[in-house]
Amino acid sequence: MARPEALCIAPPTFAMKWLMPRLPGFQVLHAQLELHINTNVQPVDV
């Protein structure tokens, strides 16, 4: 069975200063989730 996935698109500074410090706790709570993080500053077509 495939793991559920989530995509997080954030500016690099936000990801580094806010998101990254919180990821360990998030991963503990949502270990089954495969998280993809995109910090590209270019517009992203989702």
Residue 46 lies in a domain: no
Quote the domain boundaries for residue 18. Answer: 5-38
pLDDT of residue 1: 72
Residue 44 lies in a domain: no
pLDDT of residue 35: 95
Residue 11 lies in a domain: yes
Please list, in sequence order, all residues whose beta carbon lies within 8 angstroms of the beta carbon of residue 11, skipping any fewer than 6 positions away: 39, 41
pLDDT of residue 46: 72
Residue 31 lies in a domain: yes
pLDDT of residue 12: 94
pLDDT of residue 41: 80
For residue range 1-46, list pLDDT tens digits in order. Answer: 788 999 999 999 999 999 999 999 999 999 999 999 999 887 767 7
Number of domains in the chain: 1
Q: What is the pTM of this model?
A: 0.72
C-alpha–C-alpha distance, residues 33 and 7, integer Å = 10
C-alpha–C-alpha distance, residues 43 and 25, integer Å = 29
Residue 43 lies in a domain: no
